[in-house]
């Protein structure tokens, strides 16, 4: 799989589902003081972005070290999605 930065960003956006996460995110943020909410949200976005960039550049090396093929990773992801859908 050869991803560009734009395709990886779109994929991250689709996987994280920010609109679907709002019902979970809003009650969690009720315990955070109002002046810190923006900072906390931006920090979480920055962490997700850093993980995206790290795997974009080091993902193939990680797969080689773990001795996994891209195909096996795709199958495992499909099984996880199937389990979530069945639930």
pLDDT tens, residue by residue, 13-65: 887 788 888 888 889 888 889 889 899 989 988 998 898 788 888 988 998 99
- Encoded tokens for 51: 């993980």
Q: Is residue 1 over pLDDT 60?
A: no
pTM of the entire predicted model: 0.61
Give the integer Cα–Cα distance in Å for 13 and 87.
23
- Encoded tokens for 22: 């709002």
* Contact yes or no for 63/69 (Cβ under 8 A): yes
State the DSSP code for 32.
S
């Amino acid at each position: 799989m050869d991803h560009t930065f734009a395709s990886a960003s779109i994929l991250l956006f689709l996987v994280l589902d920010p609109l679907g996460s709002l019902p979970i995110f809003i009650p969690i943020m009720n315990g955070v003081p109002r002046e810190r909410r923006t900072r906390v949200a931006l920090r979480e976005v920055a962490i997700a972005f850093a993980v995206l960039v790290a795997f974009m550049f080091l993902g193939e090396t990680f797969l080689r070290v773990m001795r996994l093929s891209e195909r096996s990773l795709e199958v495992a992801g499909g099984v996880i999605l199937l389990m979530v859908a069945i639930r």
